[in-house]
Amino acid sequence: MKSTVAQIRERFDNDVERFSNLETGQSATIDAPLSLSLITQAAATITPQATAVLDVGCGAGNYTLKLLELLPNLDVTLIDLSRPMLDRAVERIRAVSTGKIEALQGDVRELDLGEGRFDVILAAAVLHHLREDAEWHAVFSKFYAALKPGGSFWIADLVQHSTPAVEALMWRRYGEYLTGLRDEAYRDHVFNYIEQEDTQRPLLYQIDLLRAVGFSNVEILHKNSSFAAFGGIK
């Protein structure tokens, strides 16, 4: 059985510091700083006149903070399961921006995002918590509806591979990365909570889903091992 929403929330409540480093991003993610930079640069390039961003699973706010370096003083809407994460994100963003900040504690599957409200939607290391295909489709559709015409939706996440041999290869490479980052015990720790919490989908599954819900243009910005950065433009 996978972890419940309450169990996932509890882990993140106790892990705020690891998500609060703008230079490294989330260190357990391969190429996290590169993905953060590519996604925010792409978003700023596509909508240079943006006024509003939605950060889903915002953690401590790294992606919004990086975007604000390029598009200052955006109005920001933050969503996260964890109240301590939201509080840290608001504190960090308020220190560098005069834009409005709305912080929503909850599950994006249950929240009403409205229609045509945002120029940019960011979802970093969060969508792998979705479960059944119907949930994936419903959430992607919700994001599409919430974007303004010309807006963009960007994902940085753990991805699966459809071919078992390739999945095993990429998982082995990821394990080597985690061991090098710290040690084998850390690798096992990360692999354990991924097994307990995550139901990631292949990159091409998500690209096809972006198109299916209406995104006319999709872009793959980066992929390395079991991680990818990509998105769609409305």
In the block, which residue shows the tokens 């921006």?
97
In the block, which residue shows the tokens 């992607």?
140
| Strands 75-80 vs 101-105: parallel, antiparallel or unpaired | parallel
Spatial neighbors of 29 by CB under 8 A, at least 6 apart, are 35, 125, 156, 158, 227
So what's the pLDDT on residue 20? 65
So what's the pLDDT on residue 222? 98
Per-residue pLDDT of the chain (234 residues; tens, 9 = 90+): 777 877 777 777 667 667 767 676 678 899 999 999 999 999 999 999 999 999 999 999 999 999 999 999 999 999 999 999 999 999 999 999 999 999 999 999 999 999 999 999 999 999 999 999 999 999 999 999 999 999 999 999 999 999 999 999 999 999 999 999 999 999 999 999 899 989 999 999 999 999 999 998 999 999 999 999 999 999
So what's the pLDDT on residue 25? 65
Tell me which amino acid residue 11 is. Answer: R
Domains of the chain: 5-160+200-233 (3.40.50.150)
Quick one: DSSP state of residue 2? P
So what's the pLDDT on residue 189? 92
Q: What angle do CA 100, 103, 108 make, to 5 degrees?
A: 125
So what's the pLDDT on residue 6? 79
So what's the pLDDT on residue 225? 95
So what's the pLDDT on residue 5? 78
